[in-house]
Amino acid sequence: MTDLSHVRTGFAYLDEPREAGGVLALAHRGGARHPDLHGLENTLTAFRHAAGLGYRYLETDVHATADGHLVAFHDDRLDRVTDRVGPVLGLPLSEVLGAVVGARAGLDERIPRLTDLLEDLPEVRFNIDLKAPTAVEPLADLVRRTGLHDRVCVASFTERTLRRFRRLLDRPVATATGPASVAVQVYAPFPLRVGRLLRDGGAVLQVPHRFRGRTVVDRRFVELAHASGRHVHVWTVDVRAEMEHLLDLGVDGLVTDRTDVCKEVLVERGVWYSGAAT
């Protein structure tokens, strides 16, 4: 595999694994498709399980409750994975915490607050997907108050959300590029690609390998990102052969539900990184 450890973004969150010769392995929602974690996505049990495997980068999502608390939860409603219904935004923290995750499978897990994860797993870093505009200010405030600047990378599917989050910080935090920049890299002529990246404050392109039948991540995509000083993380990669192919292209990170398979591949290649968060 090509040595790309010289591609520096200026953010310890992204640079430290590459400088150590490793690849960022991000446990998606704690490793939602690991055989031992069926029905336990985004729970403290799932995140502890991934950390126990040696993962030092965990991916999660955040919503803000009606009373302004951040919870690690993907959907905007409770319906799919809990025994309750209703929008997270419309409920106070007490009701959200009362919802049982995995109840249909006889499980009894609760939705964690983001602060619960940060305190329970001080050795890991988090990739946080801002799922709603109401979560922007609480997350920026949490980063400022608790000094999480080197411990988180923040992403969103909304450009405005990312720009607002960056403006609220007292010093820079690693963030993903916005979706418009990603689209330009795939569809636009070369000069427009470069110009768009120069205007985007993101340090990493977090993208699917393929989207709607079109290949997003190929060698040219990775080379362009690296030429601009950015890293490439690919989601959500659960098949060994696909992991191998992407690593051959030189990607910097893999986001996976199959934490067992991904660790096995990276260990075999000698690029497994399990350094502690700072």
DSSP 149-182: TTTEEEE-S-HHHHHHHHHT-SS--EEBPPHHHH
Q: Are the C-beta atoms of residues 255 and 28 closer than 8 Å to each other? A: yes
How is residue 264 written in tokens? 């096995």
> Residue 25's beta-bridge partner residues?
254
**Alpha carbon distance 62, 17 (integer Å):** 25
Annotated active-site residue 28? The verdict is: yes
Check 28, 69, 226, 233 and give the catalytic one: 28
> Which distant-in-sequence residues (6+ apart) come within 8 Å of 50 by Cβ?
27, 30, 31, 34, 58, 259
| Cβ–Cβ under 8 Å, residues 92 and 155 | no
Return d(Cα 235, Cα 237) in angstroms, integer: 5
State the catalytic residue, choosing from 63, 69, 74, 231. Answer: 74
Does the annotation mark 74 as catalytic?
Answer: yes
Cα atoms in the Cβ-side hemisphere of radius 13 Å centred on 112: 22
**Which residue type occupies 50?**
A
Catalytic residues: 28, 74
